[in-house]
Amino acid sequence: MPGQVQSIARAAAILRLLAGGSGRLGLLEIARALDLPKGTAHGIVRTLHDVGFVEQDKTSGKYQLGAALLHLGTSYLDVNELRSRSINWADPLAARSGEAVRIGTLLDSKVLVVHHVFRPDDTLQTLDVGALLPPHATALGKVLLAYNARGGLGDLVPYTRRTLASPRVLTRALAAIREAGWGSDIEEMTVGVAGIAAPIRGYGGLVVGAIGISGPVERVCDAHGQPRITLVTHVREAARAVSRDLGGRGQ
């Protein structure tokens, strides 16, 4: 069997590096991170730039993922069955809850956001489709971990003082999610933000994704700091509806 084409493997490594970073990277940073000669890295990055997979900031000279690559990713998400089946139920959930709605699934120990509906108001918001979220610090992720944690819990980075960064505490929380059929996070990834999510099931009852809302704590939670029951009900109803469309069963 033929081996890898080295240049393609290196190009893929550069794209993964840019996708996983928190910002733009310079050529020297890319070369050092992947242990590549600077000239080799420059040639690959230049080719990726020429085809639109990488863009260069004119001010800093650093690189980031390009629009052409992001378009390919969005095209994949457009044909993703989970996303296509969820669209009809995400908008009504946003309207009923008054909060942003996200649908996610696990990908390489992260939560891939496959659909995002903006909060129905005039505030400035950023589209999260294609974003990778930490599963242990988000309602979407904890729901997915509760039913798909066979590969382990991953790296439990503490994002706030309320993040469940202890395996023992997180395991206990996941058991409670399985029992209740829904999960939440309250300021576990971002201070002042809370979320509620419920599992989406496919054929055979397998959990293939999750749907959830997120918004300011004072709107998502009641006076006792607990998720509002009406919002939990809206999220679970949406999850059941998507599950039915996927041929699964709600809960």
Q: Mean pLDDT, 10 residues at a time, over the chain (251 residues)?
A: 75 84 80 92 92 86 78 54 85 95 87 89 79 93 85 82 94 94 96 96 84 96 96 96 79 53
Contact (Cβ atoms closer than 8 angstroms) between residue 194 and residue 185 = yes
**Three-class DSSP category at 82:** helix
Q: Are residues 234 and 163 in the same domain?
A: yes
Q: Are residues 58 and 99 in the same domain?
A: no
Residue 181's pLDDT is 95
- Model confidence pLDDT, tens digit, residues 199-223: 998 877 788 899 999 999 999 999 9
Does a structural domain hold residue 224?
Answer: yes
DSSP 139-191: HHHHHHHHHH-TT-------SSTTS---HHHHHHHHHHHHHHT-EEEESSSST
Q: Are residues 194 and 134 in the same domain?
A: yes
Q: Is residue 4 exposed (0-12), middle (13-18) or buried (19+ Cβ within 10 Å)?
A: exposed
Taking the complete model, does pTM exceed 0.75, yes or no?
A: no
Does a structural domain hold residue 250?
Answer: no
Total domains present in the chain: 2
Return the amino acid letter for 123. Answer: T
Q: Are residues 93 and 132 in the same domain?
A: yes
Q: Are residues 153 and 199 in the same domain?
A: yes
Q: Are residues 85 and 172 in the same domain?
A: yes
Q: Are residues 190 and 121 in the same domain?
A: yes
- Model confidence pLDDT, tens digit, residues 115-133: 999 988 877 778 788 888 9
83 closest CA partner among 221, 248, 210? 210
Q: What CATH code is carried by the domain that includes residue 36? A: 1.10.10.10
157 closest CA partner among 22, 30, 37? 22
Does a structural domain hold residue 72?
Answer: no
Does a structural domain hold residue 73?
Answer: no
State which residues form the domain around 54: 6-66
Does a structural domain hold residue 130?
Answer: yes
DSSP 188-240: SSSTTEEEEEEEEE-GGG-EEEEEEEEEEHHHHB-TTSSB-HHHHHHHHHHHH
Q: Are residues 106 and 214 in the same domain?
A: yes
Q: Are residues 40 and 141 in the same domain?
A: no
- Looking at 43, 66, 89, the residue that finishes a domain is 66
Q: Are residues 214 and 133 in the same domain?
A: yes
Contact (Cβ atoms closer than 8 angstroms) between residue 62 and residue 41 = no
